[in-house]
Every structure is written in C-alpha cells, then in structure tokens.
Amino acid sequence: MSTFKQVEKLKKRVNFLNKKVKTLVRRKGEKNTTHAGHVENSPENYYKYMNQNTLRLLLKNKSIKFTDPLKFNDPMDSTVPELKLNTKRLKDTMMSVVSKDFPELSDYQSEINNRLSVDERHWGNEIKAISDELLNSWPDIISTFRILSLTTKPDNLLMWSHYADEHRGVVVKFKKNPSFGSPKKVNYKNGHQSLNNAFNYMASMVVKLEAQNGFTDIHSDKFSDATLNIMLRYFFMKMSEWSYENEYRIVYHESNTKVRKIHNNLDLVEVNENDIESIIIGSSVSPLRAKRLTKLIKGRLPNTKVIVQQYKRVGWQLKI
C-alpha cells in the first residue's frame, strides 16, 4: 500500500471540495439560509445600533440593511481557520487499515510504522497547500451571503460609539419574533476547532475508504455537504474579544427572495413596522434634533405604538 498514493487521493478529494462547495452554495441560496448558531432560549427583544441615515432608510423603505461579511469592521469575522492535519491520527488510521485489511503484511508492521513516521512531515506540507487553497477561495464564497447583526444590549457604551455615530445615532428595539428572520446567537468559544476536527475525521475516513476501494461520488457529496455546513457555522463564531456585544445574527444568501438590492450595493430585507417596539435616541443628540427625530419617527410609523425615548449621560452610565 503506497502512503503517498493515499495522500495524493486525499489531496484531490479536498481540492475538489472547492467546486462542490460553490455548487452547494448556489443550491442552498434558493432556500432560507439562516444556519443554526448557539442554541439557547430566545431573548425577549433584539436591538440594532445605527446612525441617523440608516434610521431614515429603515423608516422610508420599511427595510433593514443586511451586510456583505467582507465589509465587516473585524477582518477575522466569518473567516475559517488554517487547516492542521493530525498526522498521528492519520498514521494510526493507516496502521489500523494495514492490520485489518492487509493481514499478509503483519510481519512488516514495524517497518511500515517507521516509513509512515518519516512520511508525516510530507503530509503536513501537502495539507498546508490544501489549506491555502481553501482559505483563498473562502472570501468568494462568503461574499455571496448577507448578514444582519443584532444584540440584546441597548446601553453598551462601546457599541454606541462604534455603531451609532458616537452616541449621535439611535438604537431600534425589535420584538421577540421579528418578521424579517430568526436571529441565532453568536458563539465566542472554541469555534476555531470545528472545521479542523471535521477535516481530520474526513481525512481518516477517506484513507479507510480508499484503502478498501470504497470511496464513491456519494461519499464525496456527503463529505462536501458536511464540510460546507461546518464552514457556514463560522458566520456564528467570533473571537472572544467581541463577546461584550452579545450578538445575534440572521444570515441569508444574496439570492434569497427576501433580499432586495438597491443602488447596486445595498441589500435590504423588508421589515414589518409592527416589528419595531421602540427607538432610543443617542445621548449626544441635541434636544431640538431629538424633537425633530421623534416627529419623523411618528410620521413614518403612524399606525404603530412605537415609543421614542432618549438616553442621558449620568456619570458613566446611560439612563432613559
């Protein structure tokens, strides 16, 4: 049994994954593409920080902006990790295959083990090339998705500064089950291991099936689909440094019927005006400007019971 041949087959399978993933993305784009995030009880409300221009867009079009993940302020957001092959696991798998399926080689176990140990560093180089190819193609894949970020915290000082024009914008409070989608919680723990664990499992399975001449297109389709689903989970995984945002997300493929593109670069999803429960005006908005904003909001949402409030700074806190 040639270990180099096994690794070459593995390399071809994973390289082929790129084409399969892109095909699956187009196919899944016809459906609702909200993927499972961190599972827990749904919060009572969701909040969206925005500047005044984005608020006017929401009020005028009854729509909310969904963002291309490549335009996020965090360049690590929605990216996948570098693949790292567990060479020991792969070697143990090969030894197991030799022992079980090639009993005639039982007298050469020690020699085979030594040869595989020498080959480990070659496998690492091969997987590095595969990882680079996946990482290079991933931006093209995620750029076809659109994301809405929400939170359960309306009074976070950093978020007011970063996302609401330094307290000159607003926070929109949405009801528990908004019409524009089902928000899923972002996971800030250990997400980077998911793809590597799955990849190493796939590598081991490919080695076993190839050795038994049993790896078919059906297996390739299943592994590709599973890998895509794992990769798409990274829309709901972020580094722990961002945990203060307590973020929830809705993700759609750009081809989803809910997504409407205007001005060639703005993707909107319709919002039912009854989804909006209240709007909080930032603490740096002047009283006169706050009064005009309140009039604008009430005029655009005449059939709702929306409550308009404003934060005031009290020491280092925000209070209604």
Q: Which domain holds residue 245?
A: 3-319
Closest CA to 242 of 188, 165, 190, 185: 188
**Using CA atoms, how far apart are residues 228 and 198, in angstroms rounded to an integer?**
11
Beta pairing, strands 312-314 & 184-185: unpaired
Burial zone of 62 (CB within 10 Å; 0-12 exposed, 13-18 middle, 19+ buried): middle
Contacts of 202 (CB under 8 A, 6+ apart): 14, 223, 226, 227
HSE, CB side, 13 Å, CA atoms: give it for residue 52. Answer: 15
Burial zone of 53 (CB within 10 Å; 0-12 exposed, 13-18 middle, 19+ buried): exposed
Question: Could you read off the pLDDT of 68-108 as tens digits, one per residue?
Answer: 999 998 888 888 777 777 777 777 776 776 666 666 666 66
Bigger pLDDT: 140 or 203? 140
Average model confidence (pLDDT) across the chain: 80
For position 22, what pLDDT does the model report?
56
Contacts of 264 (CB under 8 A, 6+ apart): none
**Using CA atoms, how far apart are residues 86 and 203, in angstroms rounded to an integer?**
9
For position 1, what pLDDT does the model report?
43
CA angle 48, 317, 311 (to 5 degrees): 50
Q: Which of 130-144, 215-229, 292-306 has the lowest mean pLDDT?
A: 215-229
Question: Could you read off the pLDDT of 108-132 as tens digits, one per residue?
Answer: 677 767 766 666 666 666 666 666 7
Q: At what angle do helices 193-211 and 87-101 cross, to 10 degrees?
A: 20
Question: Could you read off the pLDDT of 23-52 as tens digits, one per residue?
Answer: 655 555 545 455 555 556 789 999 999 999
* Global confidence as pTM: 0.78
Q: How confident is the model at residue 191 (pLDDT cuts 50, 70, 90)?
A: low
**Using CA atoms, how far apart are residues 248 and 268, in angstroms rounded to an integer?**
18
Question: Could you read off the pLDDT of 245-262 as tens digits, one per residue?
Answer: 999 999 998 889 999 998
Quote the number of domains for the chain.
Answer: 1
**Using CA atoms, how far apart are residues 299 and 259, in angstroms rounded to an integer?**
26
> Which H or E run includes 266?
strand 266-270
Cα 315 to the chain's mean position, in Å?
Answer: 37
Across 13-22, 36-45, 163-172, 239-248, the highest mean pLDDT is recorded for 163-172
